[in-house]
Amino acid sequence: MRVESTRPSIGRNAGVLARETRGVYRPGMQDDATEEALRQAVGAVGRMGMLFLHDARKPSLTALVAGEPIRGSWWGHPAGRRIFQVASALEERGDVLFVPLLSAKVTLVHRRLWPALISVGEARAPWQMDPLTPHARELLGEVERAGRVRASGPSSKVLARSLLVHAGQVHTEAASHATELVSWSEVRRRHSIDQRLAPQDARSSLETTASQLGALSALPWKRMR
């Protein structure tokens, strides 16, 4: 198991969401307004298929919960606590994966797109593999062999942003959080996802959804050309 560096994260939810939170928030629902925001978020992600966690111009969870676009960091916004609660509850429902997909920003991806997302991740296309350093390739091999590896640092970030792994957050024995890289085969097993798409069909599916958000050029294989 390779760990480049360890940095505690605040927040108990799994996924890359925790790296975007810096306030000490608790994800439990607090009031009727938060419950209503969660209901709206579930509907929005279900309709759109994917949604930015935070973006000042594109459809995002932060704008949906706050009722307006937020410029700059969202966690200091008056709605920051509610945003964190809703995002955490969404992830805990099991219908959304948090992935650095659009513009390398945290993106909520609905379950119906997981076969396409995973198929793209497993393609090992040149846009994914060519930028990898020897260390990143070694780390990818460890993840593939073990299924999951705790790691952080530049190599783990490039693997996540190239969609070669899914990055999540786990509790450590020291009562902190660590990044855990999970292979897509392990994600398939955990969520019983058997459908496999040809890479071109998988990319096309995600491109159609991203286009509806006005974010086609934000997909990694578009950005890395």
Q: pLDDT, tens digit, for every residue of 46-68?
A: 999 999 999 999 999 999 999 99
Residues 109, 163: Cα–Cα separation, whole Å:
13
- By residue count, the chain amounts to 225
R_g (Cα) of the chain, nearest Å = 17
Residue 216: alpha-carbon gap to chain centroid: 17
In this structure, how many other beta carbons lie within 10 angstroms of the beta carbon of residue 208? 13
Q: pLDDT, tens digit, for every residue of 91-110?
A: 889 899 999 999 999 999 99
Q: Residue 172: which pLDDT band, with cuts at 50, 70 and 90?
A: low
Q: Average pLDDT for residues 103-123, to the nearest whole number?
A: 97
The whole-number pLDDT of residue 210 equals 97
Listed in sequence order, the residues at least 6 apart from 175 whose beta carbon sits closer than 8 Å to its beta carbon are none
Handedness of CA 83, 167, 22, 221 (dihedral sign): negative
**What beta strand segments (E) does 82-165 contain?**
96-100, 106-110, 148-150
Q: Average pLDDT for residues 188-196, to the nearest whole number?
A: 96
Burial class (CB in 10 A: 0-12, 13-18, 19+), 46: middle
224: which 2 tokens? 């890395």
Q: Give the CA-trace dihedral at 186, 158, 128, 144, to 10 degrees.
A: -30
Q: Residue 16: which pLDDT band, with cuts at 50, 70 and 90?
A: very low
Per domain, the residue ranges of the chain are 16-215
Q: Residue 30: which pLDDT band, with cuts at 50, 70 and 90?
A: low
